[in-house]
Amino acid sequence: MDLSLLKQDIKQLIIKELNLEGRDPASIPDDAQLFGALTGVADSPTVSLGLDSLDALQLAMSIEEKFGVRVPDGSEARSIFASVASLASFVAERTPAG
């Protein structure tokens, strides 16, 4: 699976599922911290989207729906949801190649 396409898909999914209306996928860096306090400016590597646990649940559900990959609950989920990049790697490892 093309990782950069997958990242793009995940960014679009985040924007759609979490109602980040008007946000451009390109404005979300691959390594942006998804959760935690909203910080930084859009092009800073330390940017956080300021998402919370309710968003994590919504995102996990939509990842399962779209990619057929089940994201585990609890502490394991935290590292998977660290960034778009980590989420994309997790999904890529569990989906058939191609």
Partner 1 sequence: MRSSRIWITGVGLVTALGPDVATTWPRLVSGVRGLAPLTLFDTAGQRASMVASVAPAYFEDASREGLTGDGAARAWSRTSAFAWKAVAEAMTHAGLPVAPVERSGDRRRLGLVVAGTTGGMFETEALLGDLHANPTSTASLVKMMSQPLTATGDRLVSRFGPFCRVRSLCSACSSGANAFVVGALWLLSGEVDAVVVGGTDGLCRLTVSGFNALTATDPDMCRPFDARRKGINLGEGAGFAVLERASSAVARGASVVAELSGWAIGAEAHHITQPDPSANVAARLIARSLRRGGLSPRDVDYVNAHGTGTAANDSMEAAALATALGQEIERIPVSSSKGQVGHMLGAAGAVEAIFSALAVKHQLVPPTMGLEEPDPACKLVHVLRAGRPARVRAVLSNSFGFGGMDTVLALTEPELGPPPARAEHERRVVVTGVAALSSRGLADAEDAATWVDGSLSHAGAPAPGPLAFDLISQLDPARVRRLDRPARLGAVVASRALAAAETGTGPIDRAEAGIVLGTAFGNLEASAAFMHRLFDKGPRLVSPAEFPNLVPSSPVGHVSIYLGLQGAAFATADLATSGECAVLQGMELVAGGEVDVVVAGAIEEASALVEKVLACLHGGASSGVPMPRSRARSEGASALVLEDEEHARLRGATPLARIERGYTWTDATEVALEAPRDPGRARVVVGRDERAAKKLIGTPWDAVRRTSLAPFAGDHEGLGGTALVAATSMVHRGLADEVLVVGTSNGRGYALLLVMYGLR
Stretch that binds partner 1, among 14-22, 25-33, 39-47, 86-94 (CB under 8 A): 14-22
Among 2, 24, 64, 76, binds partner 1 (CB under 8 A): 64
Query: Considering only CA atoms, which of 75, 77, 73, 98 is closest in space to residue 86?
Result: 77
| 22 lies in the binding site for partner 1 (CB under 8 A) | yes
Rounded CA-CA distance 82/47 in Å is 12
Among 3, 5, 42, 57, binds partner 1 (CB under 8 A): 57
Taking residues 27 to 56 in sequence order and writing x for each that binds partner 1 by CB under 8 A, - otherwise, the string is: -------------------------xxxx-
- Which pair of structure tokens corresponds to residue 24? 């451009």
Q: Kindly report the CA angle at 8 between 6 and 81, in degrees rounded to 5?
A: 70
